Structure 1
């Protein structure tokens, strides 16, 4: 019998209790239903385990980016409503309907494709209309959406469940564009009122909207990174008490003393000024840990911060303990998370790498085993 593939010391630990607590905190803050966004493997936390836990917590709706993510949830037994947020192609529509996935309709042409597929299947499609209020990504412009909305209301094969847009600058609590986007969105929704039709679910607020703009909460909110306990931007106000749900851990696999002047790692970009103690950690950019942390980031070993030195390799990187630092092979190494009284956050790592927390989380790939605690 082969050994199970569970021996790798590097691992992601997801705290399901923290995740549930964050969902409760957000719901209590906004007072409207929550659509939990699970794009990109639930922001690196694991699509199916996170969806199962949130479904057990009574989440109102889930949101994913692609058809394939929605199908994966359905095949895993997830029954809560799932909206596919991304742009769609005509060839995908039948599968969306067959798997009971709610569809983002972002143009009149796509509406017609959804209608045709639904009629052919003999089954109504559940749709949300996407209005572009200032993102210029997908969606019908708010200033020209009247025919689009009228066609959706008149459709015999589409059940209009929602209408939504996306905020471009809500991570900034001082954003002026957000108020303009909200005004444009209300103008679009007015076409439904003028037609005398029931108003579908209006949803606009992302994580930044949840934190900063109560007027955008409307009938449902769509938190993504905030649900996982990470702020969407360094400028964001922590108006909701959320806790990080993910830790990234490893262990030291090698220890050596490096003589003064001997360069460490590829490119010989760093060498100690005096003899120092170096440990090697079995994780690298092949796992999604940023190469940009070369000679920049820190880790925690025995509750103390120590710097990454030399270039981060595909599968390994080195840490400088200093001339007097102590560590042994198999000592725990914390890359994201808490050890003793010290902590390294996703936001810290993003700052060191010159990127955003979204990228740090979503690039952590399936090569890293995931463990789930709590719940």
Structure 2
């Protein structure tokens, strides 16, 4: 395979994880839920799906999720960084992978050596890719990035003609796709998505005007797939929805999705806190009566937000109980009340279902004053991940 002699890109955090990790805190990922979401989103969009697996597959695990989606027959994956693409190739992912972030000239040869598809966002970037491709003697597969309103990367749509001309006439680049990114599609009431679609289609029409083949047009992110069928075009790029999470409180559940991630831990300590005693750093919470308090071994050092201090909730024995005091780096405390019961090793659910109740990622984000994306991607490598379902995935990948 191209790129067999890649530089070592191992995440230093991986050294924390032994072969058998019995830490009581863990992330459980239901691969079959991801498979369900993939098929449901593809059917709803009526177009092929590019599975977005950047940022450690939104906290679900880059390599296991990518290998599973490959086994499910997905035709395209998307990442943000070349390092993520290299990790996929090293793990045996062979489907096309688009790197969507802005390119850095010294890295271009790594894209080409590993058959990674390149986002080209300007004529200057095109020239950088051409130079690297010529030096290696192999064509680069590129997607043209057009800016229709994000003002992030990409040629402004009204100026795309010269950019498209240069790309189409390139000897060393094959234009596979053209795309833009929607800024407000999470909100179905926003008029901006329609404006961006019109700008994008106008830029794409230049291919017809010069008699060039139309590349794959992709515009729809999760919100686009959920709310705006007209933006689905030739391919769609769901990210957070692929994992069963709504992108925004304004989003409508137009597709029946299944949350794939649960965050669980266990009780490691139980004590009675007397009335008038305080809990955790800063003494910000005081027991109003004698109450029973448990300690849970996860904290902001794992990516669990400190903003959930005295605000968040967990499930213990199927019942909701509040976090009390400040979330520490490695632990937090939960008030069971004066009559509550729990034992060491009892499961504590931070995200997910227990009994008849569930705590969603969306609810955690709302309580923490942030967005679900930040909750998921903030859960770091210190938390071991275990996978259920997905019988077709090589178990060595997990």
| Residue 45 of structure 1: aligned partner | 60
Deviation at 1:31, TM superposition (A): 1.2
Does residue 94 in structure 1 map to residue 141 in structure 2?
no
Q: Give the root-mean-square deviation of aligned CA atoms.
A: 0.7
Gap change, CA 1:123 and 1:284, over 3 Å in 2 = same
Residue 14 of structure 1 deviates from its aligned partner by: 0.3
Structure-2 residue corresponding to 1:117: 132
**Structure 2 residue matching 1:368: 3-state secondary structure:** coil
What secondary structure does 1:145 align onto? helix
Residues 105-254 of structure 1: pairs in structure 2 closer than 5 A: 105-254=120-269
Shift of 1:176: 0.5
CA distance in 1, matches of 2:46, 2:195: 23
Q: Which residue of 1 aligns with 2:26?
A: 11
Q: Which residue of 2 aligns with 1:63?
A: 78
Distance 1:233 1:56 in 2: 30
Structure 1 residue 7: Cα displacement = 1.6
TM-score, normalising length: structure 1: 0.99
How many residue pairs get aligned? The number is 373
SS state of the match for residue 286, structure 2? coil
Change (3 A) 1:161 1:4: closer
Q: 2:320 aligned with 1:305, yes or no?
A: yes
Runs of 5+ unmatched residues, structure 1: none
Runs of 4+ in 1 over 4 A off after TM superposition: none
- Provide TM-score, normalisation by structure 2: 0.93
Counterpart of 1:72 in structure 2 is 87
Q: In the alignment, does 2:291 pair up with 1:295? A: no
1:324 aligns to what? 339
Once the two structures are superposed, residues 226-268 of structure 1 have per-residue CA deviations (whole angstroms, 9 ceiling, x without a partner) of 0000000011000011100000000000000001111100000
Aligned to 1:84: 99
Are residues 1:365 and 2:380 paired?
yes
1:275 aligns with 2:290: yes
Per-residue Cα deviation, 1:74-94 (whole angstroms, up to 9, x for no partner): 000000000000001111110
In structure 2, C-alpha distance between the alignment counterparts of 1:302 and 1:89, rounded to whole Å: 51
Structure 2 unaligned runs (5+)? 1-17, 391-398
2:64 alignment partner, SS class: helix
